Amino acid sequence: MFSVNEIRKDFPILERHVNGKPLVYFDNAATSQTPQIVIDSIVDYYSNYNANIHRGVHSLSQEATDKYENARIKIQKHFNAKEAYEIIFTSGTTHSINIIASGFSSLLNKGDEIIVSALEHHSNIVPWQMLCEKTGTLLKVIPMKLDGTLDMKTYHNLLNEKTKLVFCNHVSNALGTINPIKEIIDAAHKVNAAVLIDGAQATPHIKPDVQELDVDFYVASAHKLCGPTGQGMLYGKTAWLEKLPPYQGGGEMIATVSFEKTTYAGLPHKFEAGTPNICGGIAFGTAIDYMNAIGFNKIAAYENELLEYATKQLLEISGIKIYGTSKNKTAVISFNIDVVHPYDIGAILDKLGVAVRTGHHCAQPIMDFYQIPGTVRASFSFYNTKAEIDIFINSLKKAIQMLT
């Protein structure tokens, strides 16, 4: 049974007041809030078994190692990776993408082509631009349509024997559009191109099966999934991870070191140089357990209710324009009010206790496409309520009244 009132008790921050008003947190696409069980797992680590992993024979080190590697197995099972060592712990989605971009710099040649979608976050654009500058590879873009979906006909036409890599987000952070990634992956594989999917915005709402998708690389961040900041994961097929060179050199990622030659450790350690964010990895596993206990099907169904409820009320407001109107989207609404700047709306909403995101959302090409400076973005999670949406709508009306 899904009970939002019971779920809300798990999140201490939801009891906060901001500017004298009860907090209404609608910035979940930027970061989710953290349940007490995840907070407790972090405190437990530092209180009871804080030690470096993989390197010690003493009890604390072994206990920390076991819990850290058990978290890797939890994440493996969640994403249905074939092997636990195909899950690489990183500091987040951006770090994960940069590992792959760096690795491909030794595999690409001048005249090769890589393809990115027009819906990407900057973190899935800039590393590839840097790669192109290093290698002479050409960057091609899948165009977007007015409704915030991708022009898939053009995508298929872009693919050819020169295409080496395709990268696309599973869900747009700015618009909430769910992209047809299975079609993107299958088409890329027909021309022997690898595919990286940015799952940062999808994983709080969708439980991806990397084997069913047949994706080569899938990346995500813990802080979108009720976990801690500074922690993420990179899934890669074994063959690709073995082919790519290490991203960083240092401790843990080596098998042997001499001044003449170094040999690298096997997976996953090859890509995990240095002391990791140990408590972050453990807490990531706890967050995965927490969300699976609620159930992703229940989460998706409830969040869709919130999306429909909020969309209906917003469309009743004069002068509103919603960007990203795909029928297949997550609980994100990006909008503007006539000529009112989104920042001004967001600032007044904050004074009324409502947290939304304003600006270009690190997706400036999308804003350029719509010829706007940015949007107001309200993003919902499974711990939000329709009553909070009512507060948001009433607060928005007050803000509009003040600004027009």
Active-site residue list? 362
CA 321/CA 98 separation, integer angstroms: 35
Find the DSSP H helices in 315-384: 342-351, 364-370
Sign of CA dihedral 310, 315, 319, 320: positive
Which strand ranges, in their side-by-side order, compose the sheet holding 357-359? 320-323, 332-337, 375-379, 357-359
CA 271/CA 337 separation, integer angstroms: 46
- Half-sphere exposure (CA, 13 Å, Cβ side) for 45? 25
Q: What is the DSSP letter of 160?
A: -
Structure tokens at 202: 């999808």
Across-strand partners of 144? 150
CA 232/CA 221 separation, integer angstroms: 4
Helix (H) or strand (E) holding 336: strand 332-337
CA 270/CA 250 separation, integer angstroms: 10
Using alpha carbons, list the distances in angstroms from residue 150 to 147, 160, 171, 191, 364.
Answer: 9, 18, 11, 20, 16
Find the DSSP H helices in 112-180: 126-135, 152-158
CA 149/CA 172 separation, integer angstroms: 9
